[in-house]
Amino acid sequence: MEDGYAVRRVDRLGVVLAGAGFAAAATMPFIVAKANRIAAGKPLLLTSLLAQPIALALIALLLGTAISTIFLRRPFVRLAIATLCLIALLMAIGIVSTSATPPGSASARITPGGTFWVLLAVIGLIIADALVKLQLTPWMRVASLLIYAALLAAFLVTGSLDSLSIMKEFAIRADQFWREAGAHVFLAFGSVVVAIVLALPLGILCFWVPKLRAAVLQVLSLVQTIPSLALFGLLMLPLAYLSAHVPLAAELGIHGIGAAPALIALILYSLLPIVANTVVGLEGVDPAVRDAAAGMGLTRRQILFGIDLPLAFPVILTGIRIVLVQAIGLVTVAALIGGGGFGLFIFQGLGQTAMDLVLLGAVPTVFLAFSSAVILDAVIDTIRGRRA
């Protein structure tokens, strides 16, 4: 009986995460010290850095996090220990990278190794699991996101991570980084706003006219099957022709390359989820509610705006969430046709075999997509909770 009880007390997810973390720490480098951005570099294991107190503190906290994840049932305790471990991990990578950088060297690059990324992922999953088990309200989840974002910002603002190669790449390209960040946000959010304006009426029309629904959804589904890069290419020729023969188009910034084809392609990709979710949301409204409203003398338009759309809004917003996360990712590909965005750093890094430059574009893209998803999920859950 005691053995069976002990087995039940062990958290299987915790065993997997702890095993992955310690396997990475034992076999993969914690940092890679390179003479320059493209050199192979010298890998350094976490166990080879035990002379530094921060490395010992990190290992101690990793052990504590593993034990709490496997055996402790209280999510708040697990969350607190994992958060301390995250802080120690960020402190360790900053201190170790600083000590590994040759004095006065501007070309040396210290890259986080596989151990750092695996530990960051494992600790992140432990924190996420603890937050789920705490059953936070939607806006408490957003507050948690802001707290951890503020924690990361504190490390960045204080310069604790400045010795890392990704931060050196940022320092060199700070002005360009913020320009491309603005372009990325404009393309992603701008395309979604335009798609909502176009797709919402189209979804309502498809709901009202069932015969039109199949044709519209088939055409929009066909657009989804076209690879993003191919769609960008297909739009380049007509837009280049339009720019060459219509002066107003050129004055508005419409050209064969750049933001115009990227924006149009993103809008086309965004139509299907919003249209489909609008139809599904409207179909989910109880017909008896419409009949009662019609019996009270409400017009079709009043029923649409007063009953149908408010009740269908959570489903429609779910489609918008899908579209926004998709658009944030697809904007990176737009850099290949001059659309700008974080993808510019990704493709430059790939061309130069500079993985830290790739990370400079990839990390903020992932953070932007994840943050947008968390915030929209909170909005959706809040609306559904009020109607439950």
Phi/psi for 164 (5° steps) reads -70, 145
- pLDDT at residue number 82: 92
| pLDDT tens digit sequence for 175-200 | 999 999 999 999 999 999 999 999 99
Q: Which CATH superfamily is domain 174-387 in?
A: MetI-like (1.10.3720.10)
Give domain limits for the chain: 2-135, 174-387
Handedness of CA 350, 356, 360, 364 (dihedral sign): positive
Q: What are phi and psi of 12, to 5 degrees?
A: -65, -40
Three-state DSSP state, 333: helix
The whole-angstrom distance between residue 206's C-alpha and the CA centroid of its chain comes to: 31
* Digit-coded pLDDT (tens) for 51-99: 888 888 888 998 988 888 888 888 899 899 999 999 999 999 999 998 8
Please give the structure tokens belonging to residue 344: 């510019």
Query: Which of 43-52, 105-114, 215-224 is predicted most confidently?
Result: 215-224
Which of 221, 370, 376, 371 lies closest to 313, judged by CA?
376
Query: Which residue's entry shows tokens 């210290």?
Result: 110
DSSP 8-state symbol, 164: B
Rounded CA gap, 277 and 126, in Å? 33
pTM of the predicted model, to two decimals? 0.86
Q: With CA atoms as reference, report the closest residue to 138 among 388, 387, 384, 377.
A: 377
pLDDT per residue as tens digits for the range 228-240 = 878 888 887 788 8
Whose CA is closest to 126, among 77, 199, 57, 91? 77
* pLDDT value at residue 271: 93
- The residue among 203, 227, 180 whose CA lies nearest residue 330 is 227
1-10, 75-84, 209-218, 361-370: lowest mean pLDDT where?
Answer: 1-10
